[in-house]
Amino acid sequence: MEYIIGLLLDYTFVLVGLFFLIGLIILIVSLGHVDDIVRVKSSRAVYSYDYVSYFKDDNNRIYRVENALNGKKKVYKVKIRYISPAGRSSRSKVIKITPDKINHIKENPTLIMSSQQLKDQKKAEKELAKKEKEALKEQARLMLEEKQHSYYEKVNSIIDSANNLKSIIVIKEDQSELDNLIAALFDRTVNSIKKIKDMNSDEWIMLDKLIANTADNVQEIDSRNKKITDYYNSSDFMQIKDTCKNLMDSQRDFNEYIEEKAESISTLFGSRIIRNETVNQDKYDYIRPYKKTISPFTAEVSSTVFASAENNPMDYIIKYFYPSKTSYPEQIQKLKLLIGELETLREAKQIIENYKKEYQQYLTDVPDYITKYDEDGFYARLGFAIINESVLTVEYKFTYTSNGGLAQRSFSVPMIEDTIIELIERLESKLSMDSFKTEQRALMTSKLRKHIKERDNYTCRYCENSTYKEPNLLLEIDHIIPIAKGGCTIEENLQTLCWKCNREKGSKIV
């Protein structure tokens, strides 16, 4: 028994010693356990190696370590080791990677990038930024273009309504006002819309103002003309017309005669030049053409010609409106006739004004806007001959429009008696002297006309009617032998005739 106990005691020591030993071995093994081992190429590298180096060497390690740390493990151990080529010396250390460190890496991914990776990343970032910038730029360009289009559309809608309005305009002055409005709108928009490069430029505000103003003005012309048309269709006006009818009938011939004269006068002024019926053509196809009214006797010229014409208007009037030398003799005759006709029309205008005064008592309840805006149209509708001031003051006009219609300049030479006389003399000087006898070259100036009327005591040589008997009688100076048949402008060949007798004589000759 004692033996057994003694034996047991002996073995207990052995067993305890054995267990202790096993425990020690397990402890040593578990203490020495690492999750990964990295070999480095120098002993110095062992010191400098850290968890950043570990992930930098192989980026995939981060996932592996992360997975491992997701389990029970709280620390991931990596042994860094250097063994010399001969195996004689070695050095090592263990780095511990915790979730904190993983997070740090994840927050700063550039830490574990190679220099090439960094370079690539920077390049990619740069390209992305460039693309974004380009996209923004393109977007801005499209927005700007859209804005420009919308402004061209605004302008076009005004031009559309102006084109429609033109056909129904009653007031003559409004015709040219509309032309000017559209020309100004065109000049200030056609190129400038394209030139604005900034979405928020103040120029847009200015354009808005201009467009709104023009639209308002066009609208105003439209409603003014509608109002006036309405009046002419009203019973009020019909009544006035009826009242004046008998009176007008007695003057119908006179009015017709004067109207014909006024109309024919423009044929005495040389050739009419009409070019560029629609000057407002836009090379960008954005702005629709506007049917501009070209005033008679307008020459549209280049900037060089314009400058020369300004310095020497008479030469350029001859060049542009009297282009053919062979028709000079005929044109000279017409110009001579013109001087007399203009004078006659001026006198007729005064007589018509006198008639108008006589009619005032019948013109009841005529709205103010009629007398203000369409006096001529009103009287014309009653049957009066209208001698527009523009008929009496005909002008030769030179205009120059710069490319794209940005700027327009013009000047006019009014054909007053002195200018017409100068023109006649210049044309004659260009012809050989023989073709004109001295007597033929005499001109029927207003001075001469006055003299003949005085000589004939303001009495018609045919019917003996006079301004004493009929204060509103229109008297004219007649060539006894017409100029066309070689008659001269000399006292002996001139006589005073009333307009009726002159008209009759004229129709007999024709």
State the DSSP string of 383-430: T-----HHHHT-EEEEEEE-GGG--EEEEEEE--HHHHHHHHHHHHHH
Q: Decide whether 272 or 469 has the Cβ nearer to Zn ion.
A: 469
Q: Where are the alpha helices (DSSP H) in 71-171?
A: 99-107, 115-166
Q: Would you say 244 and 362 are in contact if contact means Cβ atoms under 8 Å apart?
A: yes
Q: How many CB atoms lie within 10 A of CB 417?
A: 15
Segment contacting Zn ion by CB under 5 A, of 63-71, 100-108, 167-175, 452-460: 452-460
Least distance to Zn ion, CB of residue 476, Å: 10
Least distance to Zn ion, CB of residue 430, Å: 39
Segment contacting Zn ion by CB under 5 A, of 241-249, 416-424, 460-468, 477-485: 460-468
Q: Residue 467: which H helix or E strand, with range?
A: none
Q: Would you say 162 and 292 are in contact if contact means Cβ atoms under 8 Å apart?
A: no
| Residue owning tokens 């006019």 | 412
Binds Zn ion (CB under 5 A): choice among 205, 463, 481, 484: 463
Least distance to Zn ion, CB of residue 257, Å: 13
**CA Rg value for the chain:** 53
Q: Residue 496: which H helix or E strand, with range?
A: strand 494-498
Q: Decide whether 282 or 478 has the Cβ nearer to Zn ion.
A: 478
The CA-atom distances, in angstroms, between 266 and each of 263, 441, 510 are 6, 23, 20
Q: Decide whether 240 or 501 has the Cβ nearer to Zn ion.
A: 501
Q: Decide whether 162 or 473 has the Cβ nearer to Zn ion.
A: 473
Buried/exposed 419-441: b ≥16 CB within 10 Å, e otherwise: bbeebbeebbeeeeeeeeeeebe
Segment contacting Zn ion by CB under 5 A, of 105-113, 179-187, 436-444, 456-464: 456-464
- CA-wise closest residue to 493 among 417, 439, 434: 439
Least distance to Zn ion, CB of residue 183, Å: 48
366-395 residues near Zn ion, rule: CB under 5 A: none
Q: Is 338 in the site for Zn ion (CB under 5 A)?
A: no
Pairing of strands 90-97, 494-498: unpaired
Q: Decide whether 206 or 463 has the Cβ nearer to Zn ion.
A: 463
488-507 residues near Zn ion, rule: CB under 5 A: 498, 501
Q: Decide whether 375 or 456 has the Cβ nearer to Zn ion.
A: 456
Q: Which amino acid is at 233?
A: N
Least distance to Zn ion, CB of residue 357, Å: 24
Least distance to Zn ion, CB of residue 461, Å: 8
Binds Zn ion (CB under 5 A): choice among 97, 460, 474, 488: 460
Q: Decide whether 327 or 472 has the Cβ nearer to Zn ion.
A: 472
- CA-wise closest residue to 342 among 266, 230, 429: 266
Binds Zn ion (CB under 5 A): choice among 231, 355, 436, 462: 462
Q: Decide whether 372 or 469 has the Cβ nearer to Zn ion.
A: 469
Segment contacting Zn ion by CB under 5 A, of 7-15, 349-357, 361-369, 462-470: 462-470
Least distance to Zn ion, CB of residue 172, Å: 33
* Binding stretches for Zn ion (CB under 5 A): 460, 462-463, 498, 501
